[in-house]
Structure 1
């Protein structure tokens, strides 16, 4: 079973504790682990809670230890820190480097806010190990003859911004850390609270609305730097969500005036490029954002397979094979 870490935060973790108690009450062996998707080769942190359950006659699967370094973006409730799937502090692991945004999407062709094509050709070859894997996975699994087919990129289109938001996004500088605070007429105090400069006349859009909308000052009491934020090439996303809302999330492309496309979000979740999504653009984002990150599912599947073959010990954690993240043959 998988869920968000909020089940461990709400009401002192009563939801998570109840789920675990029900498994035990039904005579299942049970184990709880908190896993970060970035620890398995993705440029997003994405902390999630997983429950293993097994009958007394079966082997209870272990949780797979990380194989990549990760940029920590947030942490679970302190009382559940011992459930984080990680190496002990005195146990130095040999981890691969953290995967960054540039590792995942730098090879994708540029598109505009108005892009509506569901299919397009690639514009350049893969540049990183991640890109080679995400693009060639189907060839390795199906066979070399598929290389004769012309490679097609699916779902590389963004949620189209309305005119007001598009004008605002075009004013956000193309640099690391840029966000709504770079728009004209904003003052930031020593307490990191942003407000309108009372000595500056507000800039209006063609619609008559202000360039800087009021909600950026009320969101998190004006202390948030996320509205209209650009994610930079050497950074990672906190979590891929079901809708790229630039009003409250850092979802702007580093160098293009738009939110991340469906395909870019799919890559941040580990979906191979040959995995085609269905429905409206909004529904495709939701399919991607609601999914368990593919490398995490793969690692858990490996652990389940080892348990089913009774090839594990009695420890709660296991080590994955070398180069597991980019292997299709286990």
Structure 2
């Protein structure tokens, strides 16, 4: 499915391929997949997701520093590294790593703020204090595990590893429901955020 998919009922794409799939689908008289829908991300966020590699462990730190054309026809900007990073020094190529005067030990300067960049300015800005924001804009791994299911999957949220392993989107309502052990026959009600909230607040 694509970013913002909203078709609430669809046929399964084929027969179950694992014991878990057989179990979670249950014994439906007319097999139909419900709530395989996902939140629609803004054009800039969608471009970031599209540029996260599909290899295991990838996150925002793998984003290329480019100006790219967004789905609405506008363009993102390239992030400018303008200050010396007192903690980490320069890169292996001798390039600066800081995006704000606070990287040099001085107070933050609001004029250093950059907007509409493929690499979110706020992450390298505060990364030294927050384990470099490991996992934000991270993909769920095919052979890994599903981290804590939250009430609102956001790539920049406290549990940022919410991207599909291969597709340009966040995990769907049904994928989150399965991670909590809900069978496919279980129904959720309300809008997409209501459904995510029902799943995230459930005790598996």
State the TM-score, normalizing by the size of structure 2. 0.72
Counterpart residue number, 1:246: 155
> Hey, what's the Cα distance between the residues in 2 that align with 1:210 and 1:262?
29
> Hey, what's the Cα distance between the residues in 2 that align with 1:275 and 1:164?
34
Question: Do residues 224 (structure 1) and 138 (structure 2) align?
Answer: no
Map 1:5-20; keep pairs closer than 5 Å.
none
> Hey, what's the Cα distance between the residues in 2 that align with 1:243 and 1:157?
13
Question: Do residues 168 (structure 1) and 77 (structure 2) align?
Answer: no
Map 1:75-114; keep pairs closer than 5 Å.
111-114=1-4
State the TM-score, normalizing by the size of structure 1. 0.45
Question: Do residues 255 (structure 1) and 166 (structure 2) align?
Answer: yes
Counterpart residue number, 2:189: 278
Larger radius of gyration: 1
> Hey, what's the Cα distance between the residues in 1 that align with 2:169 and 2:189?
21
Deviations 1:215-245 (A, max 9, x none): 2222553522211111110111221111101
> Hey, what's the Cα distance between the residues in 2 that align with 1:268 and 1:241?
11
Aligned to 2:46, the other structure's residue is in SS state helix
Pairing partner for 2:16 from 123, 126, 151: 126
Pairing partner for 1:269 from 153, 164, 180: 180
> Hey, what's the Cα distance between the residues in 1 that align with 2:153 and 2:123?
16
Aligned to 1:223, the other structure's residue is in SS state helix
> Hey, what's the Cα distance between the residues in 2 that align with 1:215 and 1:285?
26
Deviations 1:240-272 (A, max 9, x none): 111101013100000111000000000000001
Shift in Å, 1:210: 0.9
Contact 2:123 2:132 in 1 (8 A): no
Which structure shows the higher strand fraction? 1
Which structure shows the higher helix fraction? 1
> Hey, what's the Cα distance between the residues in 1 that align with 2:88 and 2:132?
6
Deviations 1:9-65 (A, max 9, x none): xxxxxxxxxxxxxxxxxxxxxxxxxxxxxxxxxxxxxxxxxxxxxxxxxxxxxxxxx
Counterpart residue number, 2:62: 182
> Hey, what's the Cα distance between the residues in 2 that align with 1:263 and 1:215?
31
Question: Do residues 292 (structure 1) and 190 (structure 2) align?
Answer: no
Aligned to 1:122, the other structure's residue is in SS state coil
Deviations 1:253-293 (A, max 9, x none): 00111000000000000001011111010110000000011
Q: CA RMSD in A?
A: 2.7
> Hey, what's the Cα distance between the residues in 2 that align with 1:268 and 1:236?
9
What stretches of structure 1 of length at least 5 have no aligned partner?
1-110, 140-145, 200-207, 294-330
Contact 2:51 2:64 in 1 (8 A): no
CA 1:192–1:234 in 2, change beyond 3 Å: closer, same or farther? farther
Question: Do residues 233 (structure 1) and 142 (structure 2) align?
Answer: yes
